[in-house]
Amino acid sequence: MQRTEIGTCIKKAKRLLDSSEIISIPTETVYGLAANGNNSQAIAKIYAAKKRPLSNPLILHYKDTSSAFEDVTIVPKDAETLAEKFWPGPLTMLLPKKQTIPDSVTAGKNCVALRVPQHKLCLALLETLAYPLAAPSANLYGRISPTSPAHVKEQLNTRIPYILDGGICEKGIESTIIGFENEAVIVYRLGSISIEEIEACIQKKVGLKNKLESNQEVLTSGMVKHHYAPNTAMFSIAQKHEGNKIENCGFIGFDTLHPDFPNENQFLLSENGNIDAAAKELYRSFHIMDAKKFSSIYIEFMPEIGIGRAVNDRIKRAIQKYNS
């Protein structure tokens, strides 16, 4: 059984990746589980460690925009405009891949998911590498994405040799995934960059094909219902009725304590009502509240603005698991 070490050594991270190992890397959104994106043998280890179905493709992480666009056959004008504005940053673009990209990265699809992450240590590592990093979130399949090295270790301990410690993730919610259909820009996964920001950048409306909000088939297979759910049953606070027993229940709120729950059973995402700060805390709150072994957890939705929409999307998915 291998020991999982946590450290900040880029040289060690590079040495492991160069020898086809997988390691966890920090990004500004959530921690990733990374392998050499040109090496199918290393990529296979990601699927095995996460217990992820082989049909679910991976995002490639690049050091800069030009090396990302070199790996695709078409770059629409809007993609260029968005890259200029949001890369490095939490935006993932689906574009037609060159043949050189291994099928194990894209699970046989024609498009590859590209992003240039914003995390300093992650970029410093990418600078030293001769290849992009294939990386899904560093959680076991269907579990909560990790936003700290400790969360990664909790789920992947002994399955990976190294976690590159870049502290707590700045954003706390995964990247926004977009694609291009004819002239339209479509959001496939709500994420850290809001729809409003994307629309302001390209000066036009974008579409949304997110399974929760439309009946269309989702393109990104990871957007299944049961993603992002803690083990403890989770319900919307709006589902709580007068007289419901709540002694052994937790409450995750936005900025105000709930009078019906003991204070020690509550977690406020942002005491001063800041949605970005709340997003950063969301998955951590799931981890912490899950560990308290409540009989159930009630949670409150955030205001539907900016990143609040992506936070609410993750809350809906977490709740859905126990309401279907």
Residues contributing to the site for ligand TXA (CB under 6 A): 27, 29-30, 32, 56-59, 90, 92, 94, 106, 109, 111-113, 135-137, 174-175, 177, 219-223
- From the list Mg ion, ligand TXA, none, which binds 219 (C-beta under 5 to 8 Å, kind-based)? ligand TXA
3-state secondary structure of 143: coil
Q: Locate 30 and state its tokens.
A: 């959530």
Looking at the DSSP assignment, which residues form a beta bridge with residue 94? 113
Buried (b) or exposed (e) across 128-152, using 16+ Cβ within 10 A?
ebebbbbbbbbbbbbbbbbbbbebb
Helix (H) or strand (E) holding 18: helix 10-18
- From the list Mg ion, ligand TXA, none, which binds 223 (C-beta under 5 to 8 Å, kind-based)? ligand TXA
3-state secondary structure of 253: strand
Q: CB of 101: closest distance to ligand TXA in angstroms?
A: 9
**Radius of gyration for the chain, computed over Cα atoms and rounded to the nearest angstrom:** 19
Position among 29, 137, 175, 265 found at the interface with Mg ion (CB under 5 A): 137
Q: CB of 270: closest distance to ligand TXA in angstroms?
A: 21
Are residues 185 and 206 in contact, defined by beta-carbon separation less than 8 angstroms?
Answer: yes
- From the list Mg ion, ligand TXA, none, which binds 165 (C-beta under 5 to 8 Å, kind-based)? none
**Site membership for Mg ion, residue 155 (CB under 5 A):** no
Window 234-253: contact mask with Mg ion (x via CB under 5 A): --------------------
Q: CB of 98: closest distance to ligand TXA in angstroms?
A: 13
Q: Would you say how long the chain is, in residues?
A: 324
Q: Tell me which residue has its CB nearest to ligand TXA.
A: 222
